Amino acid sequence: MKLKARAYNPRVRLQILAACFAVFALLLVSRAAWMQLIHRDFYQQQGNARFLRELPIATSRGMIVDRNGEPLAVSTPVESVWANPKELLQAPERMPELAKALGIPRDMLTQRIAQKAKKEFVYLRRHINPDDAQAVVALKIPGVYSTREFRRFYPHGEVMAHVLGFTNVDDLGQEGLELAFNDWLTGKPGSQKIIRDRSGHIVEKVDLIREAQPGKDLALSIDRRIQYLAYRELKSALINAQARSGSAVVIDIKTGEILAMVNQPSYNPNSRESSSPYLHRNRAVTDVIEPGSVIKSITVAAALENGVDPNIRIDTNPGIMTLDKYSIRDTTNHGVVSLEGLLQMSSNIGAAKLAQNMSNAHLYDVLHRFGYGQSTNSGFPGESAGVLSPPRNWGPVEKATISYGYGLSVTPLQIAQAYATLANHGRMMTPTFVKAEDKKTGTQVMDPAIADEVLAMLESVTNPGGTAQKAAITGYRVGGKTGTSRKFNAGGYSKRHISLFAGVVPLTDPKFAMVVVINEPAGHDYYGGLVSAPVFHNVMEGALRLMDVPPDNIAAWYETKKPVPAAAVNPVPMAAAVPAAGNEEIIPDDAVVPGVQP
């Protein structure tokens, strides 16, 4: 039986096709609804990840100025060229052109890009002139862009280097006050949303997320004029004395503000990469020395506080004394001396005899009160506290050597603080590098009458017959103390010296305290009074003029000055002695020193 073919019905086919299209349309609408309504955030994020970027807004670091508002450290705008390696590697034929524009070898550029091939960011050149950066970007090499940054600039170069320190390539403090006040100086970068096209160009700024906040400015206590004077004179002294290094510190006595702090040799913080790292440390606060005779003023103050008669006469004949089989020598036989004469002629024997008549605890206490053996709390990074051993470890020999400046280690800043305390009527002010806005009271560490008495005695050191006549300044009363100590090494005390002078001016109304330390002078003259005292004279003479400090009324002072009685009162017992010998103001080879056998 033959089957009859089904008749063709085009309407049914159309209905089937329409149903299929309807189903597909429903699926598309459902998918679109799923993407745009239900999972909208996810797909929005995916889209933003391809075109929307968060662009940082660079901000400048706070400026550092001196006490008069003169700029010492400023941040200047620069450009840094960077690349997206994934994009740049798609145009390898443009590498030579890019390398030439950047001024770097082609091989180095190719290697850097290859190492970061899977990254989306790599710096090509940082901190270059904005015009040069724009010239590179103008080449329109795929994946090459530039961004705004800031670079630190130090107008005074090596003169301020050790105080200010420097920042790294990311403008963060690495040394000095740049490091100490990094949080204060560092600004907070801003941020904004932008839309980039497929070539990386900004086509729209969408939204400001966070405004950039520049760093806060910092006003220092440093006076750039006095700083320059100190730097110039210290450098000149080192050249003349053929010395290895040196430091100088100037302090405002009444406020504790550090007006100048310099070191030699120095370095240029604008191109520090070419200098050795050991040059970067601030020797005035990080390096310690044995102070030698400059400590004798504190020894005299301790004796007076211990009840010694101010008119006492000390017999130093015949210029050498023995103590536990050790020898203590003076430069020459000074005979019978007063306390003022002890300081004027820098008698080691006189200082040792004063120490014999006071307890270990008392001498230690006075030295500690004047800041030795502890940090000055200046806030400078890496500051050393020095070394002052506990009094229980002192024997008669150790106490004697400490009384004239051996067996303890101090920083130049600690010496400056101690002399400023004497000149401030025994009131210690904390040294500070920041300009003082409020008047501080300080800490009274000694009876004002005793401090004033010792300070008056120190004037004899700069008068005729004293060891620091070169520190005298015409029209001003100057007090101070010299020191010339031998350097200690593994085999004992060497013939290398440290020359020091610590002084105060003017004595009628003390304004400045200054310490000068010159390390290892190689010339014929190596005594503190000949090498360091002239630096004090030159710097202070200029500072007094710059700060309009009136001269002392010398005539009236001479009329009221009371002479020291000539009669001997309560002489200090003298130890057994042997014939005298030795060199001026230095500790001789067989003198009483830690670690040296008789």
pLDDT at 195: 59
- CATH number for the domain spanning 243: value is 3.40.710.10
- Is residue 409 part of the annotated active site? The answer reads no
H-run or E-run covering 431: none
| Domain identity same for 362 and 456 | yes
Would residue 270 count as lying in a domain?
A: no
Question: For residue 119, what is the domain's CATH number?
Answer: 3.90.1310.10
332 & 290 share domain: yes
Whether residues 459 and 492 share a domain: the answer is yes
Identify whether 288 is part of a domain.
yes
Q: How far is CA 214 from each of CA 60, 65, 185, 338, rounded to the nearest angstrom?
A: 5, 16, 8, 61
Reported as a single tens digit per residue, the pLDDT across 82-130 is 888 888 888 888 888 888 888 888 888 888 888 888 887 888 888 888 8
Residue 184 maps to a domain:
yes
Residue 186 falls inside a structural domain = yes
**b/e 341-368 (16+ beta carbons within 10 angstroms → b):** bbbbbbbbbbbbbbbeebebeebbbbbe
Question: In 3D, which of 99, 60, 26 has the Cα closest to residue 215?
Answer: 60
226-257 residue pLDDT tens: 999 999 999 999 999 999 999 999 999 999 99
* Cα 462 from Cα 472, distance rounded (Å): 5
Q: What is the pLDDT of residue 559?
A: 46
Residues 181 and 119 in one domain: yes
At residue 162, does pLDDT exceed 60? yes
pLDDT (tens digit per residue) in 272-282: 777 788 899 99
Do 212 and 242 lie in a common domain?
no
User: How many domains is the chain partitioned into structurally?
Assistant: 2
> Does 223 have pLDDT greater than 90?
yes
How many degrees, rounded to 5, is the angle at CA 283 between CA 266 and CA 438?
Answer: 105
396 lies in some domain: yes
177 pLDDT exceeds 60? yes
Look at residues 165, 187, 219 and tell me which one is the last residue of a structural domain: 219
Look up the pTM and report it. 0.81
- Res 451: pLDDT: 97
Give the domain extent around 415.
224-265+283-560
Identify whether residues 175 and 211 lie together within a single domain.
yes
Distances (CA, A) of 517 to 114, 535, 536: 54, 10, 10
Q: Are residues 240 and 142 in the same domain?
A: no
Q: Categorize the per-residue pLDDT at 55 as very low, low, confident or very high, splitting at 50, 70 and 90.
A: low
Active-site residue, from 293, 338, 378, 485: 293
The predicted pLDDT at position 208 comes to 59
Percent of the chain past pLDDT 70, that is, above it, reads 83
Examine the domain organization and report whether 169 and 313 are in the same domain.
no
Spell out the residues 6+ positions from residue 228 whose beta carbon is closer than 8 angstroms to its own: 156, 159
Report yes or no: 328 and 320 within 8 Å, Cβ to Cβ.
yes
Q: Is 90 exceeded by the pLDDT of residue 66? A: yes
Residue 196 within any structural domain of the chain: yes
Is the separation of the CB atoms in 521 and 497 below 8 Å?
Answer: yes
**Domain assignment present for 346:** yes
Q: Is residue 215 classed as helix, strand or coil in its secondary structure? A: coil
Whether 579 is covered by a domain: the verdict is no
